[in-house]
Structure formats: C-alpha cells, structure tokens
Amino acid sequence: MRRPPIKVNAMSYAKLVAALVASPATVHDLAEETGLHHLTVASHIQAMRRERLVHISAWEKDTLGRDAIAVWQWGHGRDRPRGRLTGAQRSAAYAERLRQRELVHRMAAALPQSREAVEHV
C-alpha cells in the first residue's frame, strides 16, 4: 500500500511566517530557523510571492561580490532591483584582476621551484 507524501505541517508553516514577520531574512536563514529544507522554504517563498505576501527588500552579495542572495520581507511591496555594474566598472574590475594575477605570477617566479633545486645550487 502506497503512503501519501508527507506534507509540511501547520506548525512549520507558522514558524516560517512568524520568522518573516519578525524580520527580513534569506531562504538560508529561514531554513535554519524553521528546520525545513532550503528547497522547501524556497518553494513556500515563491508561493507567497505569487500571492504578493512577501517581497525582496534587499540583496546580499555572494562570494564574488554580486547581488545574488535575496532578502525576503513580509508584506506587499516592490522588489528591490539588483545592483548593476556599468561597462566601465566591469572593465576596471577585470583589469584589476589581471594585474593581481600578473603580480602573483611574478612573485611565484621569484621563489625557488623546489627544495631539490635549492640544494643543487
């Protein structure tokens, strides 16, 4: 006999809503607070968004400095747009990364290659 799928209970849903009402939070923060899996939280957030119960109030930066992690807030509102870099800003950041890479290569070239190389000199 096949069992019906287990559904998120009302208490978990209530914790999720209470956490959102208390303060803005990311999906990861909400998952930690409620004990739900982050994909479960994300699907509930998307359902709430379709009903205009939540909106994006801010963006957190990822490890590369991009606005990638949405901070959700309870209530109807306009989503905050992601920050965008101009072409000049992207070019400047790329040039800086190239300068840093070249500096690392020059520093690595100045170091002895291995212990055996040092002992034979």
DSSP codes, 73-105: EESS-PPPPPP---HHHHHHHHHHHHHHHHHHH
In angstroms, the CA 5 to CA 27 distance is 23
**pLDDT the model gives residue 9:** 76
The candidate with the shortest Cα–Cα distance to 72, out of 101, 106, 38, is 38
**pLDDT the model gives residue 72:** 97
Q: Which residue shows structure tokens 């520093």?
A: 107
**pLDDT the model gives residue 121:** 54
Tokens of 111: 């170091």
**pLDDT the model gives residue 39:** 95
Q: Give every residue of the chain whose pLDDT is below 50, as ranges.
A: none
**pLDDT the model gives residue 6:** 55
**pLDDT the model gives residue 98:** 95
pTM of the predicted structure, to 2 decimals: 0.65
Q: Are 60 and 26 in contact (CB under 8 A)?
A: yes
